Amino acid sequence: MRSDAFIAEHIVQPSAQAGMTVENPHCIRYAVNGRMMARQGAMVAYRGDLTIKTKGQGVGRLLKRAVTREGVALMEVEGRGEMWLADLAKNVFILALAPGDGLAVTGKSVLCFDPSLQYDIRLVKGAGMAGGGLFNCVFTGDGSIAVTAHGQPMVIPVTADQPVLVDTDAVIGWSGSLEAGIHRSESVMSILKGGSGEAFQLTLQGEGSVIVQPSEGPLPPPAKGSSGIADAVGDFLGG
């Protein structure tokens, strides 16, 4: 079988700039000249003189991550070379932050970011009544972050007179200037009866944008020995 056409179509080209670029719709290339941060397990290939090590998160963020199940296990990459990063062939895109900007991102969506960015784990107002995914990583600083999505993401504007409500499993991130909260669209009785699957939404108000994926993500496997009503009550109470 001749492979010339395949190679010509898919061969990577030399890096045109330092930092991160989109290699293809499902992979980020990071040209490292110093260091960078990435989620653990995201590396699919690299070349050059690079050292990979687990990144400590500090006691505060480590405790938050243990309690909230949010955040991201990180690795630090140092040296000079190129690394390709991906996560289960999800779509990838790059967001640039300027000084004074803030971006809230769900931890499961973070792929890699510049070391010049700082992040913290924060609770969405009112999220104690809902399940996971409502503690988010808030990034600030001057630099870029690569984010993943199931499918092609949408950017929905949010204005003072037009707040936006988003499924908590479909949201990727939103402007740090927005006020985020939780909206319950079903009664307790409806939830106990099985519900519609749309019991809680993230509500965003103010001026900014929200990034939404056209998917609620992969379905988690059912827990062993689970029962529908018990699970619904546990989820409602934040268990």
Q: Between vectors from CA 177 to CA 175 and to CA 182, what angle results, nearest 5°?
A: 80
Q: Which of 54-68, 90-104, 164-178, 203-217 is predicted with the least confidence, judged by mean pLDDT?
A: 54-68
pLDDT (tens digit per residue) in 129-188? 444 446 789 999 999 999 999 999 999 999 999 999 999 899 999 999 999 988 776 544
pLDDT (tens digit per residue) in 105-121? 998 999 999 999 998 88
Distance, first Cα to last Cα, the chain: 56
Q: What is the pTM of this model?
A: 0.78
Span 4-31, average pLDDT: 91
Q: Of 113, 96, 147, which Cα lies nearest the Cα of 35?
A: 113
Query: CA 112, CA 98: separation in Å to the nearest integer?
Result: 17
Query: So what's the pLDDT on residue 148?
Result: 97
Query: CA 160, CA 170: separation in Å to the nearest integer?
Result: 22
> Does the pLDDT of residue 126 top 80, yes or no?
no
Please count the other Cβ atoms lying within 10 Å of the Cβ belonging to residue 9.
Answer: 7
Counting every residue written for the chain, the total comes to 239
User: For the sheet containing 135-141, what is the strand order?
Assistant: 117-123, 135-141, 102-105, 171-175, 208-212, 154-158
Q: Which residues of 26-49 are buried (b: 16+ CB within 10 A; e: fewer)?
A: ebbbbbbeeebbbbeebbeebeee
pLDDT band (50, 70, 90) for residue 127:
low
Joined together, the tokens standing for residue 35 give 């260091």
Does domain 16-217 bear CATH number 3.60.150.10?
A: no
Query: So what's the pLDDT on residue 230?
Result: 39
Query: So what's the pLDDT on residue 35?
Result: 95
